[in-house]
Amino acid sequence: MFMGEFQHNIDTKGRIIVPAKFREGLGDRFVVTRGLDKCLFAYPMDEWKVLEEKLKKLPLTKKDARAFTRFFFSGAIECEVDNQGRINIPQPLRNYAVLSKECVVIGVSNRIEFWANENWEEYFNDSEESFAEIAENLMDFDI
């Protein structure tokens, strides 16, 4: 399980440190793709395969299913951590998540997320104000 929040900078070549706490859980190779809310998602290969199987079951005849799978898979890349604990994030993914300098890497249960610092702060502040309401809405899911 991934949890926690870490501050890291992304360099001009698109390299960012993956927190040591997350490296073991991600394994030697893992997948990074476009996430929701203007961040990037990173999945260990076993979690990626589970997600891939679920997405394969979406009906091809549904426009939203086609759009989501295109969006999700077209941005996916396989990564491995270098000797300095970094990965290289390609320019299209950096552009999508607006990663330019200061970043936040967070653990979210079965994945990690890469956020531009400003986007994370804005998202967190907006969500913090409505956290109680969000929790109340999720009570239907036995949380």
Quick: pLDDT tens for 84-140: 999 999 999 999 999 999 999 999 999 999 999 999 999 998 887 788 787 787 777
Report pLDDT digits (tens) over 22-58: 999 999 999 999 999 999 999 999 999 999 999 999 9
| Predicted TM-score of the model (pTM) | 0.92
The CATH fold of domain 2-141 = Chemotaxis protein chec (3.40.1550)
How far, in Å, CA of 32 to CA of 26, rounded? 11
The answer to whether the CB of 29 falls within 8 A of the CB of 79 is: yes
pLDDT of residue 129: 74
Residue 80's pLDDT is: 95
Quick one: pLDDT at residue 138? Answer: 79
Q: 142 falls in which pLDDT band (50, 70, 90)? A: low
Between 14 and 129, the more confident residue is 14
Q: Would you state the pLDDT for residue 143? A: 56
Cα–Cα dist 18/111, whole Å: 12
Residue 22 contacts by C-beta under 8 Å, 6 or more apart in sequence?
2, 105, 107, 112
Amino acid at 81: V
Report, in this order, helix, strand and coil percent for the chain, each rounded to 5. Answer: 45, 30, 25
